[in-house]
Chains A and B, each alone.
Chain A
Amino acid sequence: MAATEIDVKYVAHLARLNLTPEEEQTFGAQLSHVLGYIEKLKELDVSQVEPTAHAVPLLNVTRPDEPGPSLSNEDALRNAPATANGLFIVPKIVE
């Protein structure tokens, strides 16, 4: 089967990752090579196989809904690039 072409520009937009035209070209070529290799999974009949999301299936892991110690506001903001009034600052979202 022929190697698949990825619309790198579109996928990069979905991933919120700005790429240069050179990166789009390089990654596009490298990833169609990788996808060509991945095609081998189509050799297998998996119609009767259940998917595995986790190797150790643990179901409904819960704990009592009780407040415990957590990061202080100060600690949570310590690594932030921009803050004001105890909040993260981002560019204006709404007009």
Chain B
Amino acid sequence: MLNQLTISELAGQLAKREASARELMQACLDQISRVDGRIKAFLSYDRVDALAQADAVDKQLAQGVTHAQKPLLGVPVAVKDVIAVKGQPLNCGSKILGKFVSPYNATVISKLKAAGAVIFGRLNMDEFAMGSSTENSAFGPTCNPWDTSRIAGGSSGGSAAAVATDQCIASLGSDTGGSIRQPAALCGVVGLKPSYGRVSRYGLVAYASSLDQIGCLTKNARDAATMLGVLSGHDSRDSTSVLEPALDCAKVLNGDLKGLKLGLPKEYFIGGLDKEVSQAVHAAVGQLQKLGAEVTEISLPHTDYAIATYYIIATAEASANLARFDGVRYGLRVDGPDPIQLYGRTRAAGFGAEVKRRIILGTYVLSSGYYDAYYLRAQKVRTLIRQDFLKAFEKVDAIVTPTTPTAAFKIGEKSDDPLEMYLSDIFTISCNLSGICGMSVPCGFTTQPRLPVGLQLLGKPFGEETLLKIAHAYQQATGWHKEKPPLTS
């Protein structure tokens, strides 16, 4: 089945004309028809447009265009509902955007198109990327492909579940506190959050601007490298995008980890970490040692303060960013006698509970009299958390941790207790606060029920090549990333 293949495998088949882009796109659409009623990864997709794009690719292939020129030629890539694709709906998993249709392409979409990708579908997510389970979507939760009574993770739950079930070949997500890596871990796929500034955020609907980063979800590390090569690079439309050229990650995908130093942070192997998750991660670390890596224990002493810091900074930034949803220029409007009432009523009707909670919290921590106690203090603790990592990276090339403390939890299990839900992000949040890069790679399963476990690799700022090298070497030696959820076949 074509939809089960990886980008590199498909490139080979398309180049040799063993398969056409149309057949591949059709295989993905057929898989959506077969499984997405149970998974609910897609909010919408345009079948006719997707096949038309595929036909255009087949014409290019016939004209001799190669994958060396366009590395994603013919590859169906689906997009989290927070990234603008011209002419397609954009809802951010919310009711407040109404029937919004994007008037322009995000930079990452322009880059994917230039690389020949077939862009299709809108993937489910927690409303405005606020959540860890995709239960906060106004359109209902996405289900975990390995056990549909469980969450797919979040906020990029649709992006992870769609790749895990071969409904697309790769997807885009966004990661503000773990929103790519956590669902990737829980669904059993590869998720890469690039360093802050590596990938342009132009056309990404902002949640917390100093933390948000676009990344990819793929079936293996090699595909992640191909995607990052396309997505990365400076963009004058995002003033936080760094002046680094696009990565050429393919060249670092050789199997040897000799001399590479890996750190195991002792603060990440503590109470609350599921026993089977811990075992899977330790087995993976053993595998990395066999491949030549040296492992040492390190300390990230401010780990315990990361969640509190995050929920001040992220909500403060969100309260400002989401002020634009006021019923005036786009989306839902609930009329009122004056503009203040119009704003208040529109936002009351349009936002879901978690978004409202975070706007209230963010407004509070920025309000007069509380700014120094909360926001300024959190920014200072953020410095300490970042310094922990920079110090650790003086001694090690990358850090290895579990991606999540447990495998996927049940739908509804944590939805009544926001704090409990926030605490499930404990291992992923520091990466965003520090601006470093992170990646989750499948590294095993729990036993009852059988659910995927993710290994998190954290790298230096702009150290994606090292992470991809480690992940690729690991995947050459293990087969966890090739396991498919039973319902896909």
Q: Give residues in A with beta carbon < 8 Å to B.
A: 6, 8, 11-20, 23, 27, 30-31, 33-35, 37-38, 40-42, 44, 46, 49-56, 58, 61, 63, 71, 75-76, 78-82, 88, 90-93
Contacts and interface: CB of A to CB of B under 8 A. Distances in A.
Nearest to B239: A61
A54 B242 CA distance: 13
Contact of B242 (A8, A34, A58): A58
Contact of B335 (A11, A17, A44, A91): A91
Given A18-B345, A33-B419, A52 B382 contact: yes
A76 B103 CA distance: 8
Nearest to A46: B380
B356 A23 contact: yes
Interface residues of B, number: 74
Contacts of A6: 360, 364
A81 B327 contact: yes
B359 A15 contact: yes
B27 interface: no
Contact of B356 (A17, A42, A75, A78): A17
Given A54-B210, A91-B339, A16 B326 contact: yes
B333 A81 contact: yes
B361 A34 contact: yes
Nearest to A10: B367
Given A55-B435, A56-B197, A56-B461, A38 B374 contact: yes
B422 interface: yes
Contacts of B342: 90-91
Interface in B130-147: none
Contacts of B381: 41, 44, 46, 49
Interface string B94-114: 000011110110000000000
B463 to A, nearest CB: 13
A64 to B, nearest CB: 10
Contact of B380 (A19, A23, A51): A51
Contacts of A23: 353, 356
B329 A79 contact: yes
